[in-house]
Amino acid sequence: MGMTIAQKLIKSHLVSGDMTRGSEVGLKIDQTLTQDATGTMAYLELEAMDIDRVKTELSVAYIDHNTLQTGFENADDHRFIQSVAKKRGVYFSRPGNGICHQVHLERFGKPGKTLIGSDSHTPTGGGIGMLAMGAGGLDVAVAMGGGTYYITMPKIVKVNLTGKLSPWVAAKDVILEVLRIMTVKGGVGKIIEYGGEGVASLSVPERATITNMGAELGATTSVFPSDEVTKAFLKAQGRESDWIELKADDDAVYDETINIDLSSLAPLAAQPHMPDRVKSVTEIGKIKVDQVCIGSCTNSSLLDMMKVAAILKGKTVCPSVSLSIAPGSKQVLNMIAQNGALSDMIDAGARILESACGPCIGMGQSPNSSGVSLRTFNRNFEGRSGTADAGIYLVSPEVAAASALTGYLTDPRDLGDFPKITLPEEFIVNDNMIEVPATPDEANDIEVLYGPNIKPFPTSEPMGESINAKAVLKVGDDITTDHIMPAGAKILPYRSNIPYLSQFCFGVCDKTFPERIKAEGKGIIIGGSNYGQGSSREHAALVPLYLGVKAVITKSFARIHCANLINAGILPLNFVNPEDYDKISQGDELSLENIRTAIASSSPAVLKNITTNETYELKYDLSERQKDIILAGGLLNYTKKSM
């Protein structure tokens, strides 16, 4: 029996375990990336491990999230990351060089390699045939130190693409269609692998758009073949020698298959407040638009920018619309500056932002109250934009640009003939904003620079024999990491200050939560399905750890967040009978008696509700390694003990 692309990548990097679906496999990691919102904590963790030099083939630290500097905090974090990177052997992409996933695709990604990043959209690298996965910062730190990265062997889903996209229909519409079919829960425990004759019609930037937003499916990752299209992209970047061919065997067997005829797709949009609330633009209708934001790691490539510029050329943005555009990298910005596309955008009335994440993570450009904002981003969670009552729609650059001109949600096919876009065979390559790390000898003289906002990694204790605590919070389905630990310009500067961040924990759900759990000293959280979906931010586990959360009991977890809870030493448990969720009220006194012995011996877990005198069966999906991590009080304690 033949192998899929994903199976080949896993097999070639297998360190431990076997490739039986549902079992834990350990993988050798070739490359890592961090960004500054998660990077400070990741490098604090690396420093706590006393690792002199990273052991990966390549590790890169990007500054792209916290680039709005309204105080010293972000600048101090950047300086800290820069000094650690220089000393420990990590390449450093300076602020202004671009968004991590766009730059990594251009300059570092290699077909056939493994990549983990402390950002959930790291699967962008699957667009060039990498096994690229989002992970918590502590997992990335361990990998940088030469440690193994563990995942549960996933199902492999083939998305079979046929036909070719019609004019005005984009790669964004492909992934929106997959989200419509699979939902934000549908990819959990799966790798999405794209194949079929339609793949050849998609450029690498288009493939990267699709794999990037595959994170919204809850998937482990997404991957495309590495073919002649991939080779041409790498050649244009001056990296043809990095190319290898990578494709599925003809007799590869998949767990599921989804068929999509590219020629049948129409322009789509995800409605507020979830990426899978997808309808066609014509079906939604001509709603008034207040703001349009174009960019993010999903849609900021040169191809995207050229399309937008061609649509705007010679026209004027509607007076009632604020249009902002953020090119994804210095390379993209430089090239549109030289070929005139930037001038076309400016002439039309666009506001040009720096090459960074910006409004995608709530770092500026919040829409007006009750406003409608069309964004080429990947997430439209409630409040993520910085405006709690805004309606955020996710669309392609084509829909975004067309709507910016008309002032209402517009099917770009109404504009007439699609403009002809020709990309150069060679891209401008200038890596002067990427700092090479010091040599081992030079590193001895480099001081790691800390700022006053950088606080130590929160400590945890080994698990006690029993956990007795109140249900301090009960939440529903699809709770995102933005609910647990919000982003935005007011909060992101404090990502390296867990005590300060703690006052915002679960603020979207219940602003009284931090004070209530502080008063209790500890607590248990009760959640619904797909708890912890969204970002890879480990702060959504570290802040609850700091506040005293001992266990989270849900109907189901999102993959990365569950791993982050384990890494933090917080016990993740699921209801055997989901209806038991309804029997627990916030404030109930709960008890997990003899839970340490149960975990250690793989015995069933039972939750006793002291308030109602009921008991509920619980289950846990922990490997032997994860059990040891939980019992040790988290991955950092476990790693120190192992070392």
Cα diameter, the chain: 72
Place of tokens 């931090």: 514
pLDDT tens digits, one per residue of 506-550: 988 999 999 999 999 999 999 999 999 988 789 999 999 999 999
Q: Do 152 and 225 share a structural domain? A: yes
Q: Do 276 and 248 share a structural domain? A: no
The answer to whether residue 196 is domain-embedded is yes
Using an 8 Å Cβ cutoff, are 105 and 81 in contact?
no
Using an 8 Å Cβ cutoff, are 117 and 454 in contact?
no
Q: Do 14 and 141 share a structural domain? A: yes
The gap between the terminal CA atoms of the chain, to the nearest Å, is: 40
Percent of the chain predicted with pLDDT > 70: 100
Q: Do 128 and 9 share a structural domain? A: yes
Q: Do 341 and 275 share a structural domain? A: yes
Using an 8 Å Cβ cutoff, are 170 and 225 in contact?
no
Give the neighbor-by-neighbor strand order of the sheet with 131-134.
131-134, 114-117, 31-35, 58-62, 91-93, 434-435
Q: Which residues contact 579 (CB under 8 A, 6 or more apart)?
A: none
Q: Do 318 and 229 share a structural domain? A: no
Using an 8 Å Cβ cutoff, are 9 and 131 in contact?
yes
Find the mean pLDDT for residues 325-334: 98
Find the mean pLDDT for residues 277-294: 98
Q: Do 145 and 68 share a structural domain? A: yes
**Alpha helices, DSSP H, located in 447-551:** 481-484, 498-501, 513-520, 539-547
Residue at a domain's end among 395, 414, 433? 414
pLDDT at 579 over 80: yes
Place of tokens 């960074």: 356
User: Is the entire prediction scored with pTM above 0.85?
Assistant: yes
Find the mean pLDDT for residues 397-409: 98
C-alpha pair distances (Å), 229 with each of 161, 194, 202, 613 = 16, 14, 8, 63
Place of tokens 């979207």: 508
Q: What stretch of H or E contains 88?
A: helix 72-88
The answer to whether residue 437 is domain-embedded is no
Give the Cα separation of 580 and 595 in Å (integer): 19
Q: Is the dihedral of CA 88, 93, 99, 103 positive or negative?
A: negative
Q: Do 314 and 179 share a structural domain? A: no
Give the Cα separation of 352 and 346 in Å (integer): 7
Q: What local confidence, expressed as pLDDT, does residue 455 receive?
A: 87
Q: What local confidence, expressed as pLDDT, does residue 423 receive?
A: 85
Give the neighbor-by-neighbor strand order of the sheet with 278-280.
278-280, 268-270, 391-394, 372-375, 291-294, 322-325, 351-352
Question: pLDDT class for 392, splitting at 50, 70, 90?
Answer: very high
pLDDT tens digits, one per residue of 3-29: 999 999 999 999 999 999 999 999 999
Q: Do 538 and 399 share a structural domain? A: no
The answer to whether residue 444 is domain-embedded is no
Name residue 462's amino acid.
P
Q: Do 257 and 286 share a structural domain? A: no
Q: Which residues contact 368 (CB under 8 A, 6 or more apart)?
A: 290, 291, 387, 390
Q: What local confidence, expressed as pLDDT, does residue 495 receive?
A: 85
Strands (E), 369-483: 372-375, 391-394, 434-435, 467-474
Q: Which residues contact 402 (CB under 8 A, 6 or more apart)?
A: 311, 410, 411, 412, 414, 415
**Six token digits for residue 298:** 């999903």
Q: Do 255 and 285 share a structural domain? A: no
Question: pLDDT class for 493, splitting at 50, 70, 90?
Answer: confident
Q: Residue 600 sits in which domain range?
A: 467-642
Q: Do 29 and 154 share a structural domain? A: yes
Name residue 426's amino acid.
E
Q: What local confidence, expressed as pLDDT, does residue 491 receive?
A: 85
The answer to whether residue 566 is domain-embedded is yes
The answer to whether residue 113 is domain-embedded is yes
Q: Is the dihedral of CA 384, 387, 393, 398 positive or negative?
A: negative
Give the Cα separation of 596 and 602 in Å (integer): 10
Q: Which residues contact 181 (CB under 8 A, 6 or more apart)?
A: 258
The answer to whether residue 453 is domain-embedded is no
The answer to whether residue 436 is domain-embedded is no
Using an 8 Å Cβ cutoff, are 188 and 279 in contact?
no
Question: pLDDT class for 643, splitting at 50, 70, 90?
Answer: low
Report the helix count and the strand count for the chain, using DSSP H and E. 22, 27
Mean pLDDT of the chain: 95
Known catalytic residues are: 64-65, 119, 379, 535, 537
**Tally of domains within the chain:** 3
Percent of the chain predicted with pLDDT > 90: 90
Phi, psi of 169 (to 5 degrees): -100, 140
Residue at a domain's end among 414, 435, 453? 414
> How would you write 339-354 as a 3-class SS string?
HCHHHHHHHHCCEECC
Find the mean pLDDT for residues 133-153: 95
The answer to whether residue 338 is domain-embedded is yes
Using an 8 Å Cβ cutoff, are 630 and 621 in contact?
no
Query: Mind giving me the DSSP string for 456-484?
Result: PPPP--PPPS-EEEEEEEE--SS-BHHHH
pLDDT tens digits, one per residue of 594-639: 999 999 999 999 999 999 999 999 999 999 999 999 999 999 888 8
Residue at a domain's end among 216, 244, 264? 264
Find the mean pLDDT for residues 116-136: 97
The enclosing domain of 309 has a CATH number of 3.30.499.10
- Identify the residue with better confidence: 270 or 460: 270
Give the neighbor-by-neighbor strand order of the sheet with 24-27.
14-16, 24-27, 149-152
